Structures are given as C-alpha cells and as structure tokens.
C-alpha cells in the first residue's frame, strides 16, 4: 500500500491536473490491490484534497438483514447509553459480526421494537449496520451458529443487503399477534364483553409511559382478532391481532382512560399484572 499512499499524496498543482490523472490513478490502484473499481457502489471512497495534500477514506458500511427472536424478558432491543442491562438484542447479534469484520461499531434497525419486559417469540425483521469494517467477507452461516448458541436471542435468514432496505424495515406496517396473561384485581365473572373489541377501532392517546419521547396525540388503530380464556378466577389469557402501531398494554389496562375501549373498562376490573409476548409478526 506504500506505493498507493505515495501516489495519492503526491503534490499536484490543483490548477493543472492532467486529464489522464484519474485514469492513471485507477490503473495504479487496480494493479496494487488487484481489485476492479465499482463506480456506483464502491466499498471505499478516496477523497483527495489537492490544496492540503490530505487523503480521506470513507468506508461503506455493511448491512446484514435477518429476523430475530427475543427469548427472555428484561432485555432491550438496542444498546443503552446507561449500563442498566448487561446486554441487548443488538449486543448479542453484533458481537460475532464485529469480530469477523473488525468493524468500529454497529447500528441496529428493527421493524418496530418490543418493550424491555416483553418477549418476541415471533420473528422480527431487522438490519444491522456494521460501521467502518476492515474485512468485508462474512461467513453468515458461521455467524448464525454463533448467535444461536445464545439462550436469549435466535436469528434466521441472514443475508447482505443494500442500505435502502433499512428504510423499508423502519417504515413497514406489519400486523402483530400478541399473547397476554393478565391478572385482575377482582374475580372475573365473564369475558364475553371483550369480544366487542374485534374489528373495532381503538382511540389511543399517547400512553403516559412514553410521553417523554412521543408527541401527545390520539392514534386510531384496529383490533383485527381477539381470543380469550380464563386460567383461574382472577387470571385470563388473551391472543390479540392488531394493526401496526397499537399499544397493547394500554389496550388491556385503559391507561387511566387514555385508551378507549379497553379490556379493563369492558370488564370493569382493574389490571394488576401483564405478561406479554409478541407471538407473530405478519411480515409475509
């Protein structure tokens, strides 16, 4: 690489650069590296400032698409600045990828996210961006096996994708099916009233728990399907398919009247505890 560096940093008169310079530079780089130039999507872009003789390398990120399951509670999807949790979905997935590619860091792009205390037993699409990789060849089969040794996260369908897939993932509107085991304050006489939620439009004012990071407005989302059964006098299980963007915890609790109608209001019974799982993401 010494010859390449000397060529790139050679003093040029910015007002008298020969027309053939670009072609000669390209030939030299091909001869030294043995690589052909990809002008549309280069792995590395070399910026040369002829006024200061500075050379800057912009390394294109690698984007890996996949689907994940989160098998445990009390773990966030992405890394937190505050070290409250030992690890995250991002942390487990990125570890073997950063090691193999010698990347500087990663950025995680999920198709939505589950709360910290919610498991995701369905397969959630994601793209993980590997920033400033040194090695670009990835053995994805080996990576998949290493990640799946974890008892907390499983992945499948890993593949290299373009950057534009990130936008598709972030703005995808997938229905989701949840399973909720709900404990009520008082014995439940009947669950029949809950059937009124099916095919009903739910009006949700931004939940109190997310007001600090979301604008306070009313969202209207549809409950597409709901099934239920009693587990004991004060505990019931619900399976609910919803339109993307519906806050399921608040659909259950009512959030002090900010979500109407709710399971709590229909049963006239306050909720003590919810164990929530995403059991399917209808991504096709």
Q: Catalytic residue numbers?
A: 115
- Torsion from C-alpha of 238, 244, 249, 253, nearest 10 degrees: -80
Q: Which residues contact 261 (CB under 8 A, 6 or more apart)?
A: 196, 197, 200, 202
Q: Which residues contact 168 (CB under 8 A, 6 or more apart)?
A: none
With vertex at residue 36, the alpha carbon angle to CA 35 and CA 39, rounded to the nearest 5 degrees, is: 130
d(CA 96, CA 118): 25
Q: Please give the C-alpha separations between residue 167 and each of 127, 163, 206, in angstroms, as whole numbers.
A: 10, 8, 24
- The Cβ-side half-sphere exposure at 210, using a 13 Å CA radius, reads 14
* Location of structure tokens 């070290």: 83
d(CA 75, CA 117): 7
Other C-beta atoms closer than 10 Å to the C-beta of 164 total 9
With vertex at residue 279, the alpha carbon angle to CA 275 and CA 283, rounded to the nearest 5 degrees, is: 140
């Amino acid at each position: 690489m010494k010859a390449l560096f000397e060529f790139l940093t050679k003093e040029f008169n910015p007002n008298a650069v020969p027309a053939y310079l670009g072609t000669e530079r390209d030939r030299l780089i091909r001869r030294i590296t043995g690589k052909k130039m990809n002008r549309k999507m280069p792995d590395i872009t070399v910026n040369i400032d002829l006024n200061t003789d500075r050379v800057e390398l912009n390394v294109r990120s690698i984007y890996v698409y996949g689907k994940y399951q989160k098998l445990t509670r009390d773990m966030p999807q992405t890394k937190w600045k505050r070290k409250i949790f030992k690890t995250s979905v991002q942390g487990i997935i990125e570890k073997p990828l950063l090691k193999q590619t010698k990347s500087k860091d990663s950025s995680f792009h999920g198709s939505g996210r589950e709360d910290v205390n919610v498991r995701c037993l369905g397969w959630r699409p994601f793209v993980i961006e590997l920033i400033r990789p040194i090695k670009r060849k990835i053995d994805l089969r080996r990576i998949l096996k290493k990640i799946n040794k974890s008892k907390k996260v499983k992945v499948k369908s890993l593949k290299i994708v373009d950057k534009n897939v990130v936008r598709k993932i972030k703005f995808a509107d997938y229905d989701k099916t949840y399973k909720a085991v709900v404990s009520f304050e008082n014995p439940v006489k009947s669950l029949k009233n809950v059937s009124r939620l099916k095919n009903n439009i739910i009006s949700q004012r931004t939940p109190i728990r997310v007001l600090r990071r979301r604008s306070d407005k009313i969202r209207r989302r549809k409950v597409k399907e709901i099934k239920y059964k009693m587990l004991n006098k004060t505990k019931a299980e619900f399976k609910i398919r919803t339109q993307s963007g519906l806050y399921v915890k608040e659909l259950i609790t009512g959030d002090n009247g900010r979500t109407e109608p709710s399971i709590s209001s229909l049963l006239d019974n306050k909720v003590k505890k919810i164990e929530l799982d995403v059991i399917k993401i209808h991504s096709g």
